[in-house]
Amino acid sequence: MVFMLRGVTLRALRTGSLSVVSGVFFTVIIYMVIIMLLKAAFKFRNILILAAGIALIAGAAGYAPDAGWVRIAAGTASLAAYAGAVAATMRSREFKKELELSEKLEGIYRLNREIDEQYRHISGRLGKNLRQKAARVLRHKDQLLHYFNEYHDDPVKQKIVQQALKLVMAYLKLAGSLADRAGELSPKSMNELTARINANNRRLGTLKSYQAVLELSKTIEMDEKLLEMMKEERRDLETASVRLDQIESSIVGFRHRILSNEISDTEYEEIENAINEATALDNALNEQRRRRRESCQ
């Protein structure tokens, strides 16, 4: 619920409307209270109290079928006992811990579902080599989740596993961007652009109109700038490819340490740094793509 509150509030903030933010915040708070109430209401102990109350009402009706006040009194007492039990559950420290754990686990498993969805989204765009690497990373992720299911109540493992999943997501996003850029910057595309520049340079010597020479020179200059940008992006793609392999190695290392129970809270920052580096590289690739497309317009 905390994750939902954070996500919905951030989306509302992007609208720039304080009233929208306030309305969304209030709605989510109401939703959270309702969820807490329902979870408390359906606790096994409280269900037993409710069942006992229903049995009491039925017994009262059978004992004194003509005395309506008896059924009303039994019903009121049963309802009060059930409501009191639910309220006591909501105030209990144990219930709050269970609820907090449930929220954390839901956030982790939601992230796991998002990772699987991200892989389905990009898998068709990945080449054979990248697809195999991504599938291998997902297998490491699944092994990690299988282990985590047995030790999910450990707060340190909760933090580290969630960070590890975020790193897997960053890996998949970077892999998708890498595949897209590699397709756009294929040797064939660059050779075609080089051939066009050479052809226009040869054509330039045959033109007699000053205006035609001026326009074609501008075209050649734009293509040469585009070709240089593409070469720069190709060099950055090599760096990104190496970084992708490093992230995979990091994921394998983190998984090994977690499964070997050698992980500690200090690993959190290390994984966070890896996530930030992968995200920054992904953003840089997308920014280069945007600038290249603008230069073509």
pLDDT of 138 higher than 80: yes
Q: Is the four-CA dihedral 103, 109, 110, 111 of positive or negative sign? A: positive
**Mean pLDDT score, 213-236:** 85
Question: Which is higher by pLDDT, 187 or 46?
Answer: 187
Angle of helix 18-41 relative to helix 68-91, nearest 10 degrees, comes to 120
pLDDT of 76 higher than 70: yes
C-beta separation of 108 from 162 below 8 A: yes
Domain boundaries, the chain: 2-127, 178-296
Give the contacts of 292 (CB within 8 A, at least 6 positions apart).
226, 229, 230, 233
Mean pLDDT over all residues of the chain? 78
Question: Can you spell out the DSSP letters for the chain?
Answer: -HHHHHHHHHHHHTTT-HHHHHHHHHHHHHHHHHHHHHHHHTSHHHHHHHHHHHHHHHHHHHH-TT-HHHHHHHHHHHHHHHHHHHHHHHH-HHHHHHHHHHHHHHHHHHHHHHHHHHHHHHGGGS-HHHHHHHHHHHHHHHHHHHHHTTSTT-HHHHHHHHHHHHHHHHHHHHHHHHHHHHHHT-HHHHHHHHHHHHHHHHHHTT---HHHHHHHHHHHHHHHHHHHHHHHHHHHHHHHHHHHHHHHHHHHHHHHHHHTT---TTHHHHHHHHHHHHHHHHHHHHHHHHHHHHHH-
User: Token digits for 173?
Assistant: 């996003």
pLDDT of 2 higher than 50: no
What was the pLDDT predicted at 268? 74
C-beta separation of 12 from 4 below 8 A: no
**Mean pLDDT score, 181-208:** 84
pLDDT tens-digit profile of 54-63? 776 676 666 6
Question: Which is higher by pLDDT, 111 or 66?
Answer: 111
CA distance 99 to 105: 10
Question: Which is higher by pLDDT, 135 or 53?
Answer: 135
pLDDT tens-digit profile of 171-185? 999 898 888 888 777
What was the pLDDT predicted at 107? 87
Compute the C-alpha angle 169/115/135, nearest 5°: 85
pLDDT tens-digit profile of 7-44? 544 454 445 555 554 555 566 567 666 776 667 666 77
C-beta separation of 103 from 158 below 8 A: no
Tell me the backbone φ, ψ of residue 178, rounded to 5 degrees. Answer: -60, -45
